[in-house]
Amino acid sequence: MALKNFRPDTPGKRGLIQVDKSSLWKGRPEKSLTEGLKRTGGRNNYGRMTARRKGGGHKRLYRLVDFKRNKFDIEATVKRIEYDPNRTAFIALLEYADNTISYILAPHGLKENDKVISGENVDIKTGNCLPLKSIPVGTIIHNIELKPGKGGQFARSAGSSAQIVGKDSGYTLIKLRSGEVRRVLSECYATVGAVSNPDQQNITISKAGRNRWLRVRPVVRGIAKNPVDHPHGGRTCGGRHPVSPWGQPTKGMKTRYNKATDKYIVKRRK
């Protein structure tokens, strides 16, 4: 996919850079693989705000994406590549040999009418899904399971990928884009190749209204508030480590407290 620049006819188009989606499917999504998506506005079941700066945005249909790829040894044909408003990557509609259909994350380079398959002894080819024990060291992968049968959890956003760097006593060593090296059970499945739409990182939003379409609300700096509203409020200069409105240190403070999975991390991210 290429990037698309616009003539600055309006202030909102000045500097606007988008991904060119002209080669994607232009019709509606497959109806049997969609369902309604209810908005939360960042609120929990008590109605209390738990995620700030969310709300509004365009109405969406949720596409049911198959992250498990558990139709083994049945070849599928790529019918089309589609845009998905719920994620940065594109999705591909597959039609299996038994006439069932499903959506998957589209790998970079996958095209219409290509063939893909899942299984233990299938070819190492973009879009094919295999257990980590069957994938050679050095292969680029995405949609990586952490627990066998649970479905892919790692490397799912646009342009992301990971690399197999070693194998040891039932585990596979995977190097993530952050630089972290992690052990994953070799029975877990992953898909060969990188995720589609790598140019997503180069887009420019260009105006505040475009963010509102994406349900992102404005951000107000703490120092611009009153002392009653924020710990930074009313200050004319710094002097302390930045904190959130509830006093939690931010901007550099480590917030990972998941001790249960620390044993699987071989090398920390940079």
pLDDT band at 1 (very low <50, low <70, confident <90, very high): low
pTM for the predicted model, two decimal places: 0.91
What's the confidence (pLDDT) of residue 238?
64
Percent of the chain with pLDDT over 70: 99
Residues 197 and 239 in one domain: no
Residues 134 and 189 in one domain: yes
Residues 236 and 185 in one domain: no
What does the alpha-carbon distance between residue 77 and residue 113 come to, in Å, rounded to a whole number?
6
Establish if 210 belongs to a structural domain.
no
Question: What number of helices (H) and strands (E) belong to the chain?
Answer: 1, 17
Return the closest-CA partner of residue 111 out of 87, 135, 94: 94
What's the confidence (pLDDT) of residue 25?
96
- For the stretch 188-207, pLDDT in tens is 999 999 999 999 999 999 99
Establish if 95 belongs to a structural domain.
yes
- Are 187 and 133 contacting, i.e. CB atoms less than 8 angstroms apart? yes
What's the confidence (pLDDT) of residue 28?
96
CATH of the domain at 102: 2.40.50.140
- For the stretch 207-254, pLDDT in tens is 999 999 999 999 999 999 999 999 999 877 666 788 989 888 888 888
How many structural domains does the chain have? 2
Residues 7 and 70 in one domain: yes
- For the stretch 100-134, pLDDT in tens is 999 999 999 999 999 999 999 999 999 999 999 99
- For the stretch 146-160, pLDDT in tens is 999 999 999 999 999
Residues 37 and 160 in one domain: yes
Residues ≥6 apart with Cβ < 8 Å to 122:
73, 128, 129, 130
Residues 147 and 180 in one domain: yes
Could you tell me the residue range of the domain that residue 258 belongs to? Answer: 225-264
| β-pairing verdict for 115-116 and 189-192 | unpaired
Establish if 206 belongs to a structural domain.
no
Establish if 70 belongs to a structural domain.
yes
Establish if 216 belongs to a structural domain.
no
Alpha helices in 74-228 (DSSP H): 208-213
Residues 238 and 190 in one domain: no
Task: Write down which residue in 168, 185, 201 finishes a domain.
Answer: 201
Establish if 103 belongs to a structural domain.
yes
Residues 91 and 188 in one domain: yes
Residues 116 and 187 in one domain: yes
Establish if 213 belongs to a structural domain.
no
Establish if 212 belongs to a structural domain.
no
Kindly report the average pLDDT of the chain as a whole number.
94
Residues 229 and 190 in one domain: no
Residues 165 and 250 in one domain: no
Q: Is 23 helix (H, G, I), strand (E, B) or coil?
A: coil
Residues 87 and 144 in one domain: yes
- For the stretch 64-101, pLDDT in tens is 999 999 999 999 999 999 999 999 999 999 999 999 99
